[in-house]
Amino acid sequence: MSEKLSRDELAQLVARDIKPGAFVNLGIGQPTLVSNYLTAEQDVTLHTENGMLGMGPEAHGDQIDEDLINAGKIPVTELPGASYFHHADSFAMMRGGHLDVCVLGAFQVSATGDLANWHTGAPDAIPAVGGAMDLATGAKDVYVMMSLFTKDGKSKLVPECTYPLTGVGCVTRVYTNDAVFLISSEGVRVRETFGTTVEELQSKMDVKLLPPLGE
Amino acid sequence: MLNIAATAAEAVAGIHDGATVLIGGFGNAGQPMELIDALLACGATDLTVVNNNAGQADAGLALLIKERRVKKIICSFPRQSDSWHFDAAYRAGEIELELVPQGNLAERIRAAGAGIGGFFTPTGYGTMLAEGKETRVIDGRGYVLESPIYADFALIKALKSDKTGNLVYRKTARNFGPIMASAAKQTIVQVSEIVETGQIDPEVVITPGIYVDTVVKIEPHAQAPAAQEANQ
């Protein structure tokens, strides 16, 4: 593709890659955008860690109910077929490998799929982990959505994370505005690039990149 | 036998200094605001509080922290845009924080209620939240040993109780309620409605009355100012 993807185009791409019938948890922030692009035909069921399957879109006006919120504490709606359960069940569902995909943001991802997304490690920062570690560890596939480079041009896909880890070897795909990366035991493979080339990316990254299959 | 308290103040009257108190709720959903207000008024201090968060804005748990009645909080997500009372207490070194991944927090509470002495969980393995904890590799996967969280009291909110303490909840306000009810020596529940025994279909009971010690009816209009404002 000839241009870098916008945030919405990236969300659309992630949505398209989610298999029909999947049970999915979307993290707070950028991953939430993915829900805007899931189609009815995909029949994807959204899980929210505070005890619900079958979460619908954000609630507005008269729909707002303080007893019906998502993990970001935003009022949401319920879809036909929804169910409620307590917190231990919600996380057992996650840890037990019943969720097909979770989509999370990240500060850094390592070449072996380690995830750092909860803490900058700054000494004055108040740490808060929420459900990030459980999601990273539990879902069958962990997709990360992030910008590939920091504001000062450093790659966030790194040989080893320097920020405190959320989970070890858990990330299977990294969606960025510049490229999609697949992480497996063979290494980091570029699936596709947007407005750049593998060679150009490789010149800015310390992680060894494998070319797209078929090239 | 179920104690049906006339007021929130009467319901929490037994909570003593130094108690460990599980407080239900995820954000404001399911947070037993009136019971927390009563706890604030009753004066108990040096509390260890277990909640997912560390209080929002100027209500409920946030006020307990503001008044320095909480010596330690065990939670997963203290820092929020409106957690200013916790932030101030924490930066002043006036509250101890035990940070626990949310699923481990839930499972530790569940374990206490279920008589489990500890469990190996993959969550947190290889991270700084597992430092100092026993780990084990089982079938090639790393796990961390976590311990149950027992408590003296649980303060939770449900939609409805019958006179034997069987509870039903409402939507995502259920969250930590059922597991907290099982993990405390004394479980105190605020409900919108108390019905006669037999009026709740046994098939829909979420928390059986065996876990519940005290219920108090709090008029729902007093419980839901936020929703009313939002609907205006």
Q: How many residues does chain A have?
A: 215
Q: What is the mean pLDDT of residues B57-71?
A: 96
Q: What percent of chain A has pLDDT over 90?
A: 94
A134 to chain B, any CB pair closer than 8 A? The answer is yes
ipTM for this model: 0.95
Task: Give the pLDDT band (50/70/90) at residue A121.
Answer: confident
User: Which of 74-133 (A) contact B at CB < 8 A?
Assistant: 75, 78, 84-88, 90-92, 94-95, 114, 119, 126-133
Pick B103's closest partner by Cβ from A91, A114, A128. A91
Looking at residue A149, what DSSP letter applies? B
* CA–CA gap between residue A28 and residue A103 (Å, rounded): 9
A159 to chain B, any CB pair closer than 8 A? The answer is no
Residues of A whose CB is below 8 A from B109: 88
Measure Cα distances from B143 to A106, A139, A214, B103 in Å: 23, 16, 39, 14
Determine whether the interchain pair B125/A132 forms a contact, defined as Cβ–Cβ distance below 8 Å: no
Task: Give the pLDDT band (50/70/90) at residue B230.
Answer: very low
What CATH homologous superfamily does B3-231 map to? Answer: Glutaconate Coenzyme A-transferase (3.40.1080.10)
Catalytic residue among A3, A9, A41, A49: A49
Residues of A whose CB is below 8 A from B177: 86
Determine whether the interchain pair A164/B177 forms a contact, defined as Cβ–Cβ distance below 8 Å: no
Determine whether the interchain pair B76/A130 forms a contact, defined as Cβ–Cβ distance below 8 Å: yes
* Model confidence at A103: pLDDT above 60: yes
Q: What is the mean pLDDT of residues B21-35?
A: 95
Domains of chain A: 7-210 (3.40.1080.10)
Q: What is the mean pLDDT of residues B17-35?
A: 96
Q: What is the mean pLDDT of residues A110-128?
A: 93
A49 in catalytic set:
yes
Amino acid B129: pLDDT = 96
Burial tier of B201 (Cβ tally within 10 Å: 0-12, 13-18, 19+): exposed
Select from A67, A68, A107 the residue whose CB has the most chain B CBs within 10 Å, as the one to mutate to test that interface: A67
The model's pLDDT over A49-75, given as tens digits with 9 standing for 90+, comes to 999 999 999 999 999 999 999 999 999
Determine whether the interchain pair A67/B90 forms a contact, defined as Cβ–Cβ distance below 8 Å: no
Amino acid A124: pLDDT = 85
Amino acid A199: pLDDT = 97
**pLDDT: is B75 or B27 the higher one?**
B75
* Model confidence at A125: pLDDT above 50: yes
Q: What is the largest CA-CA distance in chain B?
A: 56
Select from B169, B171, B172, B179 the residue whose CB has the most chain A CBs within 10 Å, as the one to mutate to test that interface: B172
**Beta carbons of A90 and B52 less than 8 angstroms apart:** no
* Model confidence at A146: pLDDT above 60: yes
Half-sphere CA count of B183, side-chain side, radius 13 A: 30
Q: What is the mean pLDDT of residues A31-48?
A: 96
Residues of A whose CB is below 8 A from B227: 64-66
Q: B83 to chain A: nearest residue by CA?
A: A126
Determine whether the interchain pair A86/B175 forms a contact, defined as Cβ–Cβ distance below 8 Å: yes
Supply the DSSP string of A55-114, one letter for each residue: EEEEP-GGG--TT-B-TTS-BEEEEEEEEE--HHHHHHHHHTT--SEEEE--SEEETT--
* Model confidence at B222: pLDDT above 80: no
Task: Give the pLDDT band (50/70/90) at residue A215.
Answer: low
Determine whether the interchain pair A50/B29 forms a contact, defined as Cβ–Cβ distance below 8 Å: yes
Q: Which helix (H) or strand (E) holds A24?
A: strand A23-26
Q: What are phi and psi of B12, to 5 degrees?
A: -100, 5
- Give the SS3 label for residue B23: strand
The model's pLDDT over B131-185, given as tens digits with 9 standing for 90+, comes to 999 999 999 999 999 999 999 999 999 999 999 999 999 999 999 999 999 999 9
Amino acid A8: pLDDT = 96
Determine whether the interchain pair A91/B178 forms a contact, defined as Cβ–Cβ distance below 8 Å: no
Amino acid B232: pLDDT = 37
Determine whether the interchain pair A88/B90 forms a contact, defined as Cβ–Cβ distance below 8 Å: no
Across the A:B interface, residue pairs with CB atoms under 8 Å apart total 150
* Model confidence at A2: pLDDT above 90: no
Pick B101's closest partner by Cβ from A48, A114, A129. A129
Q: What is the mean pLDDT of residues A143-160?
A: 97
Measure Cα distances from B134 to A164, B105, B142 in Å: 19, 17, 11
Q: Minimal CA–CA distance to A179: which of A215, A214, A155?
A: A155
Determine whether the interchain pair A134/B79 forms a contact, defined as Cβ–Cβ distance below 8 Å: no
Distance from CA of B7 to the nearest CA of A (A): 23
Domain boundaries, chain B: 3-231
Distance from CA of B221 to the nearest CA of A (A): 12
Query: Mean of the per-residue pLDDT values for chain A?
Result: 96
Residues of B whose CB is below 8 A from A52: 171-172
Amino acid A187: pLDDT = 97
Map A109-131 to HEC letters: EECCCCEECCCCCCCCCCCCCCC
